[in-house]
Structure 1
């Protein structure tokens, strides 16, 4: 199954090379990969060391550099041929990547960036199991912005539970992460902070979410929450390509097995859950 994921990455890279002026949006590349939009970008980043957007930019500019040296096309035509909406944005991107303007590059020439190498196996290993998870009903608060700041929403959720004496009906802490932080601007990231809930009605000021049950890959991470992002790279770069499994088209979620209020950071336990088909 390892080759299946490598084949997807190679297919997407070939598509970018062959269609530099085409629709190379994240969703379009997920379609080329024939993989869930929720998880494709993480797989690509984990296996290549680049986000899809970085790869598109690099390959477009690589193609432009070749045409500048090996053709008589104008910079304006090259800009259009590699998918830039106007010569000014192309010149700015090219100068940032190559250190010189397109015209100066055509006069002098420079080496082009190398093809990325697969990174499978270069991330710290964490234990991963496959199990059937139950469906979960949760309550909590929507959060928008940096995922590392979701603690603010958890603090508000906990205060509301305390004030309303909801704890007898509250279970394990949960968070759903709806966007990929490698692909979505930090300010636009969407998540949901809360916990399982056994009460009859959704408390005022909170929202309800349902997490479907089913086959799930569960990575157990031990350590401070600041290291969780790297653990995702391990899940998608180490475990998934060799697992023989296919992600479902649903977001990852996290289960918090202990409480940071009474647990040392290095002893915190988090289960990162990847729904599978």
Structure 2
């Protein structure tokens, strides 16, 4: 792991400024394959170019350079683990000028080379991973055959939809996430869109490589009816996409087991690779979304065929 220090959590930002930086973050996530200029990002946020860097750091807790580099490395780590793309293609896909530049940045960030990471499937010196996911917490004792029987995978196509969301930072503090769910549910009921809406969470960051206090989770509700977001919420348009879906009923350990099976067993033997989009956790029993002792979920991994990735 890099010894570079990570920023401390920032006080709650002004909601308008926070929303503007959310726009920038969403824009960056969709344009990691190219260099996005300062003027372009400042325009997205409706900030002056002269003040944009300071505003971004004040709200996000990171410099724009560090934040963008971290997004690129996270995308690269995902492609290394779950795709067959060459190192050069991954480098260009993630906005690096060459495979050599990419390799240097990856080693500086994760203390291992891209080739070593692809071969081992893990970042061996990641204190983050060890801290957040000690092996005895998983309880993943099921055999591959048992997982396959317990977690049948189906492919579904979900159309474009409008989504209201609350972005939670330092999301390993469960109270933060539960508060966001409570706020979103109460708002959706006041808008009369809760009963028909789809309630879900999006894992924006890879918990294996993201500092604990920077880990983000988005609490979301998709609706086919028009709505107005309240203060502290944002709106985005999710594009139509294909998902590999597993239904799971159980506690956090079973949810972790299902995710593990979907990524490590099903995906690597399928004809699919992950899209560069967040995975979803859809709450089937919306009224019980605040009860985290038991879950009724559909785990949705965005995918596309291998040939589409290389074309």
In the superposition, the TM-score normalised over structure 2's length comes to 0.49
Q: Which residue of 2 aligns with 1:87?
A: none
**Which of 150, 166, 179 matches 2:192?**
166
Based on CA coordinates, which of the two structures has the bigger radius of gyration? Answer: 1
Q: Which residue of 2 aligns with 1:134?
A: 159
**Which of 171, 190, 204 matches 1:146?**
171
Pairwise CA RMSD of aligned residues?
4.3
- 1-structure distance, mates of 2:184, 2:172: 16
**Which of 162, 170, 185 matches 2:211?**
185
By how many angstroms is 1:159 displaced?
2.4
Shift in alpha-carbon separation, 1:54–1:266, aligned structure 2, 3 A? same
Q: Which residue of 2 aligns with 1:98?
A: none
Please state whether the residue corresponding to 2:197 is helix, strand or coil: strand
Shift in alpha-carbon separation, 1:213–1:168, aligned structure 2, 3 A? same
Please state whether the residue corresponding to 2:198 is helix, strand or coil: strand
How many residue pairs get aligned? The number is 191
Please state whether the residue corresponding to 2:255 is helix, strand or coil: helix
Please state whether the residue corresponding to 1:146 is helix, strand or coil: coil
Instruction: Report 1:33-112 matches (<5 A).
Output: 51-54=122-125
Q: Which residue of 1 aligns with 2:298?
A: 271
Shift in alpha-carbon separation, 1:30–1:177, aligned structure 2, 3 A? farther
Using CA pairs under 8 Å that are at least 6 residues apart, name the structure with larger relative contact order, 1 or 2.
Answer: 1
Structure 1 gaps, min length 5: 12-20, 34-40, 57-119
By how many angstroms is 1:215 displaced?
2.0
- 1-structure distance, mates of 2:113, 2:178: 31
Please state whether the residue corresponding to 2:125 is helix, strand or coil: helix
- 2-structure distance, mates of 1:264, 1:123: 27
**Which of 236, 243, 255 matches 2:270?**
243
- 1-structure distance, mates of 2:113, 2:273: 14
Shift in alpha-carbon separation, 1:195–1:226, aligned structure 2, 3 A? farther
- 1-structure distance, mates of 2:109, 2:292: 35
Output one character per residue of 1:154-211: Cα deviation in whole Å (capped at 9) or x when no partner. 012122334x343367512111111111111221111211211234242222211222
Q: Which residue of 1 aligns with 2:90?
A: none
Structure 2 gaps, min length 5: 1-79, 88-102, 128-142, 305-311
Q: Which residue of 2 aligns with 1:234?
A: 261
Q: Which residue of 2 aligns with 1:220?
A: 247
Contact in 1 for aligned 2:111/2:125 (Cα 8 Å) = no
